Amino acid sequence: MPDSWQRRIDRATTLARGDAPSKALLTQYAAILAAQRTCYDALVADGQRLTGSLDRDLPDVRMCAARAFSTVRGFLPTEISSDAPDNDAAIDQLLSDGWRATSAPFFARVVLQPYAEALARLGRRPAERGLESTPGRAECPFCGGPPQVSVLRRDSGSDGGGRELVCALCSTSWALRRILCVHCGEEDEHRLKYFHTPAFDHVRVDSCDTCLHYLKAVDLTRLGIAVPVVDEVASGALDIWAHEHGLTKVEVNLVGL
């Protein structure tokens, strides 16, 4: 049974082989996932040293970052790769600022995602993030960050009224009822909409008329082989549709959609 990183890499690779318009993006995403996986494996292997305090864990995380950045620089277009920090002080600053932000920039996320996921695996709670908790907002029970995607399964609550949210940073999932906006806590079902198109039969856009935010949901009852975070990236056309309709995403994904 492939592990969670391998499932993501395999799914992105499979989707990149198709004729989707996002083919090139998915090829890059698969390579970024592979670099993140190397980072995650190295951090978990030295897991006894990790504390959950980024300031104290920086020597290990910085080493991962330097390796990951030099890998991804090799295949990203220059206009993106030129943003990668190229010395220790700049790496530390990027990671430290990203750790304390609800939404970190691309290169910080490349490394902070596997770091946070390693902490979740090891059960070391992230410290010093200092994120403000906002009433009504769905926040990851492990790291306090926003969700990236929601997942619908056959067994999502006995009445089918549940869903799982997947954290954008540490990949922890947690249960939340469906009739609830994850951004503002709106519970009026008449103000909560969803958009679905046959072009992405297993992905939908859940939006809220009150705060005009949206989150995509991947419905595993429609496509059991989907890997939610990857299918979320692959359905970028839905993000374009949502933006054209005046909606803001609860949290942009790693590739900036």
Query: Which residues lie near Zn ion (CB under 5 A)?
Result: 140, 142-143, 145, 167, 169-170, 172, 181, 183-184, 186, 208, 210-211
Minimum CB–partner distance for residue 129 and Zn ion (Å): 10
Closer to Zn ion at the Cβ: 164 or 186? 186
Closer to Zn ion at the Cβ: 146 or 236? 146
- Rg of the chain over Cα atoms, rounded to whole angstroms, equals 18
Minimum CB–partner distance for residue 199 and Zn ion (Å): 25
The conformation of residue 131, written as its DSSP 8-state character, comes to P
Closer to Zn ion at the Cβ: 31 or 117? 117
Closer to Zn ion at the Cβ: 31 or 211? 211
Q: Rounded to an integer, what distance in angstroms lies between the CA atom of residue 106 and that of residue 128?
A: 20
Minimum CB–partner distance for residue 85 and Zn ion (Å): 24
CB atoms inside a 10 Å sphere around CB 74: 10
For residues 47-72, one letter each, b for 16 or more C-beta atoms within 10 angstroms of the residue's C-beta and e for the rest, the string is eeebebebeebbebbbbbbbebbebb
Minimum CB–partner distance for residue 229 and Zn ion (Å): 12
The single residue listed with the structure tokens 């429609």 is 222
Q: Rounded to an integer, what distance in angstroms lies between the CA atom of residue 257 and that of residue 244?
A: 13
